[in-house]
């Protein structure tokens, strides 16, 4: 009961509220050594200190009052605020594609959480329609909250639950699937679903937002519109990530789930296809294909759901001077697969060799990926590379490190036979290894260079 009345308050602040019998959402007049303050007591975030009481004053601002300055306070009224996105029934329009939206948490739709002071997800077709009514012009929407976790808490269990849910929806005859997802691990999930849901007849689009939807300049609304359009109307039946192209509200990009990576901690245009071009550009008006080849939409329901995942795979990010005991420790702890993220073309120092040999001898599956992110592992160029291959490390082409981790986990969930593991790892499901890198697959421009500045000035960033 205390928790409800004094939401988030503890220690000295809680004592004061109890002493003067002022509740959260109570209107109060506080006499302090710094003068009088009046307003409504708000809940306090659990992580904040116990020395202040938060009050919303008449002008709408919040202030904190130092409890040690309080001489007396009095509750003069009570009015609890209900923060609720207005719900409107999502209209059904004959002729529009049927899209299913899976909610997993994240910032695509969110509201304030006093417990942490951060934003928490809010989600229902009605709420979404209330916030982004334009969605009703794109598709007929159904939603289902599969679970609610923050992006960083997504993991194998969630991948499997999602894969199964996708299978069920396809069985029911949906035209496309959108998954709302926090952005931090969007690309891990993109890879996992690519491996777990093969031979897709319809698009599966992962979408998030870099600015939560409680902000007027949020990218959530536009990302959602783009994702719904991609799911309902595009011909690309693959697992894709749909996020902003530039930071401007201009167009989105559809990235392959296996080639995409979050490249900036906070930019809107953070997701980039690595080592290739994105699949397509998407705006509210049109979908403009970039890649000519892709898996096309079909009318059947012949999806293959392969919901496997081993939790015995880890990644080892190499640094100069790394001691062999690091790898030994992982092996001792029972890890069956290690994705090494090496330097340059795929290297680690000689001190690790004995540990690599020991790991290999114990049947641990070792694959080499790159810290450079872009480019191919090439272990023939230098002797060290050849040495390592001889000791059992298998180069993973231009597979992204995170994707390699997901894929090896998925494979070890099915087999531990070394030859089969190697065959599966090196046989692409959907371009996680590509056979060629186009010249425009690596474009990281440098600011300050005149021709780049010229380009940036002319094109909306």
Partner 1 sequence: MKLNPKKNLEESRKKAGYIPRKKATQKDYDRIGFMSGLEVHQQLLTKEKLFCHCPAGIFNKSEDYDAQLVRHMRPTLSELGEYDGTALMEFRTRKEIIYRIKNRTACTYEVDDTPPFPMNREALEIALEISLLSKLNVVGEVHITRKQYLDGSIPTGFQRTAILGVEGELELPHKKIRLIQLSIEEDSCREISDIGHTRIYKTDRLGMPLIETVTYPDCANPDELRETCDYIRFLNRSTGKVRTGMGAGRQDVNVSCRGGSRVEIKGVAHTKWIPELSHNEAFRQWSLLLLKDELLKRINHVSDWKITHQPIKKSILKDVDLPEHAEVLVAVNLPGFQGALSWFTQPGKMFADEITDRLKVIACIEKPNMLHSEELEPVVSEKQWAEIRNKLSSGENDAQIIITGTEDDIQTALETIEERCKMALEGIPEETRKSLPDGTTIFERVLPGADRMYPDTDSAPIPLDDAYIESLSHNLPEDMIERYRKLKAWNIPEDTYAYIFSKNHFPIIERIINELGIDSVFAGTFFGHTLKFAEGHYKVSPDFTYKMIYGMFGYLKKKEIHPLIAVNMLPELLEHPKMDFDSILSGLKFKKMKAEAIVDKVPVLLEKFNQSKTGSEPGDRTNWVMGQLRNMALGNMDLTVLSKKIG
Closest CA to 109 of 213, 192, 260, 32: 213
Name the DSSP class of 29.
Answer: E
Which of the stretches 230-238, 285-293, 350-358, 453-461 binds partner 1 when contact is defined by CB under 8 A? 453-461
Q: Which residues of 170-183 are buried (b: 16+ CB within 10 A; e: fewer)?
A: beeebbbbbbbbbb
Q: How far apart are the first and last CA of the chain?
A: 51
Q: Is 461 in the site for partner 1 (CB under 8 A)?
A: yes
Residue nearer to partner 1 on the CB measure, 168 or 461: 461
Which residue among 183, 270, 273, 314 is the active-site one?
183
Residue nearer to partner 1 on the CB measure, 61 or 439: 61
Cα distances (Å, whole numbers) of residue 282 to 224, 225, 295? 12, 10, 17
Q: Burial level of 202, CB count in 10 A (0-12/13-18/19+)?
A: buried
Residue nearer to partner 1 on the CB measure, 58 or 443: 58
Name the DSSP class of 43.
Answer: P
- Catalytic annotation present for 183: yes
Handedness of CA 60, 61, 67, 72 (dihedral sign): negative
Q: Is 221 in the site for partner 1 (CB under 8 A)?
A: yes
Closest CA to 118 of 49, 214, 203, 23: 214
Q: Would you list the DSSP string of 51-63?
A: SEEEEE-TTS-EE
Which residue among 107, 185, 273, 384 is the active-site one?
107
Residue nearer to partner 1 on the CB measure, 250 or 297: 250
Q: Is 247 in the site for partner 1 (CB under 8 A)?
A: yes
Q: Is 347 in the site for partner 1 (CB under 8 A)?
A: no
Task: Tell me the C-alpha distance between 346 and 179, whole Å.
Answer: 34
Q: Is 249 in the site for partner 1 (CB under 8 A)?
A: yes
Which of the stretches 94-102, 241-249, 291-299, 436-444 binds partner 1 when contact is defined by CB under 8 A? 241-249
> Which helix (H) or strand (E) element contains residue 162?
helix 156-172
Name the DSSP class of 414.
Answer: T
Which of the stretches 35-43, 347-355, 365-373, 403-411 binds partner 1 when contact is defined by CB under 8 A? 35-43
Let me know: does 103 contact 121? Beta carbons within 8 Å: yes
Which residue among 48, 66, 184, 328 is the active-site one?
184
Closest CA to 405 of 456, 359, 336: 336
What are the backbone angles phi and psi of residue 349, rounded to the nearest 5°? -80, 165
Name the DSSP class of 92.
Answer: P
Q: Is 85 in the site for partner 1 (CB under 8 A)?
A: yes
Residue nearer to partner 1 on the CB measure, 85 or 160: 85
Q: Is 267 in the site for partner 1 (CB under 8 A)?
A: yes
Which residue among 98, 262, 312, 336 is the active-site one?
262
Pattern 99-138, binding to partner 1, x per CB under 8 A? Answer: ------------xx----xxx-----------x-------
Structure tokens at 13: 């602040």
Residue nearer to partner 1 on the CB measure, 111 or 360: 111
Let me know: does 94 contact 101? Beta carbons within 8 Å: no
Closest contact distance (angstroms) between CB of 20 and partner 1 is 16
Task: Tell me the C-alpha distance between 451 and 350, whole Å.
Answer: 43
Which of the stretches 143-151, 216-224, 309-317, 364-372 binds partner 1 when contact is defined by CB under 8 A? 216-224
According to DSSP, the residues that pair with 253 across neighbouring strands are: 243, 281
Closest contact distance (angstroms) between CB of 149 and partner 1 is 18
Which residue from 162, 163, 222, 228 is in contact with partner 1, where contact means CB under 8 A?
222
Look up tokens 């296809």; give the residue.
273
Which residue from 266, 299, 427, 446 is in contact with partner 1, where contact means CB under 8 A?
266
Which residue from 24, 41, 65, 177 is in contact with partner 1, where contact means CB under 8 A?
65
- Catalytic annotation present for 184: yes
Q: Is 82 in the site for partner 1 (CB under 8 A)?
A: yes
Q: Is 54 in the site for partner 1 (CB under 8 A)?
A: yes
Residues of this chain that interact with partner 1 (CB under 8 A) are: 32-37, 48-49, 51-52, 54, 56-69, 81-85, 111-112, 117-119, 131, 210-218, 221-222, 246-250, 264, 266-268, 447, 453, 456-457, 460-461
Q: Give catalytic residues, as residue numbers.
A: 107, 183-184, 262
């Amino acid at each position: 009961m205390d928790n409800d009345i004094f939401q988030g308050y503890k220690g000295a602040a809680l004592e004061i509220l109890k002493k003067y019998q002022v509740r959260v959402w109570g209107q109060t007049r506080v006499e302090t050594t710094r003068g009088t303050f009046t307003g409504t007591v708000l809940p306090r975030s659990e992580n904040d200190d116990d020395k202040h009481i938060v009050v919303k004053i008449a002008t709408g601002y919040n202030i904190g009052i130092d409890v040690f300055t309080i001489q007396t306070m009095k509750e003069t009224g009570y009015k609890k605020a209900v923060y609720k996105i207005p719900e409107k029934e999502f209209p059904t329009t004959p002729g529009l594609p049927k899209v299913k939206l899976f909610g997993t948490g994240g910032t695509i739709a969110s509201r304030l959480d006093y417990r942490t002071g951060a934003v928490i997800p809010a989600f229902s077709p009605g709420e979404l329609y209330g916030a982004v009514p334009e969605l009703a012009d794109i598709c007929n929407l159904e939603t289902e909250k599969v679970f609610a976790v923050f992006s960083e808490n997504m993991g194998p269990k969630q991948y499997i639950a999602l894969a199964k849910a996708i299978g069920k929806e396809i069985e029911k005859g949906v035209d496309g699937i959108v998954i709302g997802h926090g952005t931090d691990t969007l690309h891990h999930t993109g890879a996992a679903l690519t491996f777990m849901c093969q031979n897709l007849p319809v698009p599966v689009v992962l979408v998030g937002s870099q600015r939560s939807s409680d902000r007027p300049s949020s990218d959530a609304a536009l990302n959602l519109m783009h994702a719904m359009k991609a799911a309902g109307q595009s011909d690309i039946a693959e697992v894709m990530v749909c996020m902003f192209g530039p930071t401007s509200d201009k167009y989105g990009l559809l990235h392959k789930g296996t080639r995409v990576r979050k490249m900036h901690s906070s930019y809107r245009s953070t997701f980039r296809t690595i080592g290739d071009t994105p699949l397509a550009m998407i705006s509210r008006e049109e979908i403009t294909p970039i890649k000519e080849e892709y898996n096309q939409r079909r009318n059947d329901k012949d999806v293959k759901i392969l919901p496997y995942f081993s939790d015995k795979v880890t990644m080892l990010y190499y640094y100069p001077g790394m001691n062999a005991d690091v790898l030994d420790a992982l092996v001792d702890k029972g890890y069956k697969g290690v994705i090494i993220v090496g330097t340059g073309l795929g290297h680690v120092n000689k001190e690790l060799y004995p540990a690599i040999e020991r790991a290999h001898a114990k049947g641990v599956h070792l694959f080499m990926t790159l810290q450079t992110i872009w480019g191919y592992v090439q272990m023939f160029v230098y002797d060290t590379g050849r040495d390592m291959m001889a000791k059992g490390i298998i180069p993973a082409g231009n597979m992204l490190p995170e994707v390699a981790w997901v894929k090896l986990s998925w494979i070890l969930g099915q087999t531990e036979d070394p030859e089969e593991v190697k065959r599966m790892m090196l046989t692409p499901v959907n371009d996680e290894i590509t056979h060629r890198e186009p010249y425009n697959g690596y474009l990281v421009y440098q600011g300050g260079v005149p021709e780049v500045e010229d380009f940036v000035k002319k094109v909306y960033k």
